[in-house]
């Protein structure tokens, strides 16, 4: 395939493939609560959802060393992985969409700010790790979301055109990242509403992957 001519589907993981945000909220409160930071759903969606742990540490643990911030947020991820074990369910319609993309030969990429351990746990827990041509981890790049680099890396890996591809995101920072990379982005309403997602740059939103309007939009975009 010539670079830049292909189509691709690019997916965030947390809150997009599965609704894991309530478990992240619980884990953040368990670890940051004793340090003076507690979060309700609205504050979580504004200040934590979709952000990399480095920036979360800078904001909420400013008096700690970089090493200690990493340890504390590592504790949070361990709590999350314990909570999520055995509780991972795909969003409605996800498996059928992945089957459709595979049958049409459209490559799929996972793009996340989550730590690699979390991302791999979720993909393997859903039984879909093999579906993705690559897994892009924002923390392993010079810039994570909301910078466009993670999505640009995903496109580069599969030789896809941004304009011909579609991304799926559930957070403001994720939508901003994908749209800044030039990818038409569908907001998934697991945590945020249509106004927030479209306000961040999404071309439309859907409650899940079985949304009829989403499926007809994809059929047009992917020509399947």
**d(C-alpha 138, C-alpha 142), whole Å:** 8
Contacts of 32 (CB under 8 A, 6+ apart): 38, 39, 60, 72, 76
User: Whose CA is closest to 20, among 211, 188, 150, 199?
Assistant: 188
Q: Indicate which residue of 14, 21, 170, 196 is catalytic.
A: 14
Closest of 17, 47, 42, 13 to residue 32, by C-alpha: 47
12 counts as catalytic: yes
Indicate the SS3 state at residue 169.
Answer: strand
Angle in degrees, CA 5, 6, 12, rounded to 5: 130
Active site residue 170: no
CB 183 within 8 A of CB 162: yes
Burial of residue 86, with CB atoms counted within 10 A of its CB: 0-12 exposed, 13-18 middle, 19 or more buried: exposed
Catalytic position from the list 12, 170, 196, 211: 12
Catalytic site positions: 12, 14
């Amino acid at each position: 395939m010539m670079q830049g001519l292909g189509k691709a589907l690019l997916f965030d993981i947390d809150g997009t493939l599965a609704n894991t945000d309530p478990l992240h909220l619980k884990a953040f409160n368990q670890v940051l609560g004793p340090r003076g930071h507690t979060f309700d759903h609205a504050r979580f969606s504004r200040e934590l959802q979709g952000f990399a742990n480095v920036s979360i540490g800078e904001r909420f643990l400013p008096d700690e060393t970089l090493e200690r911030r990493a340890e504390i947020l590592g504790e949070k991820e361990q709590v999350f992985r314990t909570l999520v074990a055995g509780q991972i369910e795909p969003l409605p319609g996800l498996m059928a969409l992945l089957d459709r993309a595979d049958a049409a030969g459209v490559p799929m990429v996972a793009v996340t700010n989550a730590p690699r351990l979390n991302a791999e746990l979720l993909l393997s827990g859903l039984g879909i790790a093999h579906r993705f041509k690559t897994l892009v981890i924002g923390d392993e790049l010079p810039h994570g979301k909301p910078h466009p680099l993670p999505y640009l890396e995903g496109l580069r890996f599969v030789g896809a055109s941004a304009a011909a591809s579609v991304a799926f995101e559930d957070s403001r920072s994720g939508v901003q990242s994908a749209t800044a990379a030039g990818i038409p982005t569908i907001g998934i309403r697991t945590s945020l509403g249509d106004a927030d997602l479209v306000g961040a740059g999404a071309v439309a939103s859907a409650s899940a992957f079985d949304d009829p309007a989403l499926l007809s939009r994809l059929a047009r975009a992917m020509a399947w």
